[in-house]
């Protein structure tokens, strides 16, 4: 499974857990332990934010913005421009 797929599943499950807790769980069940364990799992996965992507100027394939070469055509990429603060 790709990290981005895992990230999407975690986000969807997090939304459903929030909804479940807001409804008070099935028939008013206490969902506190479930939500705490979920938070522990998300922390252990340590997915962090999704990487920023950029299209290769040569072949158009998407790759990480910080890459020095295209992962598809291997063209050398210019480093990303730093915006002034």
| Local confidence band at 59 (pLDDT 50, 70, 90 cut-offs) | very high
DSSP 80: P
| Torsion of the alpha carbons at 35, 40, 46 and 48, rounded to the nearest 10 | 30
Q: State residue 47's pLDDT score.
A: 83
Contact 19, 63 (CB under 8 A): no
Tokens, residue 34: 């479930």
Average pLDDT, the chain: 83
Tell me the mean pLDDT in the region 25-40. Answer: 78
- pTM for the complete prediction? 0.51
DSSP 69: B
| Local confidence band at 28 (pLDDT 50, 70, 90 cut-offs) | low
């Amino acid at each position: 499974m790709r990290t981005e797929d895992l990230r999407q599943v975690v986000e969807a499950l997090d939304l459903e857990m929030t909804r479940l807790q807001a409804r008070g769980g099935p028939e008013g069940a206490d969902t506190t332990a479930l939500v705490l364990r979920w938070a522990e799992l998300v922390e252990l996965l340590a997915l962090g934010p999704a990487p920023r992507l950029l299209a290769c100027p040569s072949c158009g394939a998407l790759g990480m913005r910080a890459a020095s070469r295209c992962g598809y055509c291997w063209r050398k990429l210019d480093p990303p421009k730093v915006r002034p603060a």
